[in-house]
């Protein structure tokens, strides 16, 4: 059995009409079903039920936002902003020091 992710963890959909969409986990229903919201087309008041098999889980979460979600004090704008920030980090995890190629290509002249 797969352990459900904690509240506030970033996930993205692998299957369904919403393939590729990013969400935050806002609750659990069953051992393999979680509730997700993105603050835009899936607000906290009507989260989407997703099977864990259809999600890729990223282990990046904000403890402060997760606590707000648990206490039902989070706003949709906070959810959307947190997702945007976490997705930027996933898309650009490091720089030249992390072993990736430099952004600027140097043209050699002989």
**Distances from the Cα of 89 to the Cαs of 4, 52, 71, 77, in angstroms?**
23, 23, 26, 19
Predicted confidence band of residue 37 (pLDDT cuts 50, 70, 90) = very high
Q: Is residue 79 part of a domain?
A: yes
Q: Is residue 59 part of a domain?
A: yes
pLDDT digits (tens, 9 = 90+) for 61-70: 778 888 999 9
- Kindly report the pTM of this predicted structure: 0.76
Sign of the CA dihedral 35, 39, 44, 47? negative
Residue 110 has pLDDT above 70, yes or no: no
SS3 state at 49? strand
Predicted confidence band of residue 6 (pLDDT cuts 50, 70, 90) = confident
- Number of structural domains (the chain) is 1
Q: Is residue 18 part of a domain?
A: yes
Separation of CA 98 from chain center? 22
Q: Is residue 33 part of a domain?
A: yes
DSSP conformational letter for 100: P
The CA dihedral of 77, 12, 68, 61, to the nearest 10 degrees, is -120
CB 69 within 8 Å of CB 8: yes
Q: Which domain holds residue 54?
A: 10-91
**In CATH, what number is assigned to the domain containing residue 57?**
2.30.30
DSSP conformational letter for 56: E
Residue 2 has pLDDT above 90, yes or no: no
DSSP conformational letter for 79: H
Instruction: Return the pLDDT at 62.
Output: 77
DSSP conformational letter for 42: S
pLDDT digits (tens, 9 = 90+) for 8-24: 999 999 998 989 999 99
Q: Is residue 98 part of a domain?
A: no
Q: Is residue 106 part of a domain?
A: no
Q: Is residue 23 part of a domain?
A: yes
Q: Could you tell me which of 16, 78, 10, 76 has the C-alpha nearest to residue 45?
A: 76
């Amino acid at each position: 059995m797969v352990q459900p992710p904690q509240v506030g963890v970033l996930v993205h959909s692998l299957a369904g009409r919403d393939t590729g969409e990013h969400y935050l986990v806002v609750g659990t229903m069953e051992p393999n079903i979680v509730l997700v919201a993105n603050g835009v087309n899936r607000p906290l008041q009507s989260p989407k039920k997703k099977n864990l098999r259809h999600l890729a889980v990223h282990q990046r979460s904000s403890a402060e936002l997760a606590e707000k979600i648990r206490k039902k004090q989070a706003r949709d704008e906070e959810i959307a902003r947190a997702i945007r920030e976490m997705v930027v980090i996933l898309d650009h995890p490091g720089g030249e020091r992390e072993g990736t190629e430099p952004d600027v290509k140097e043209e050699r002249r002989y």
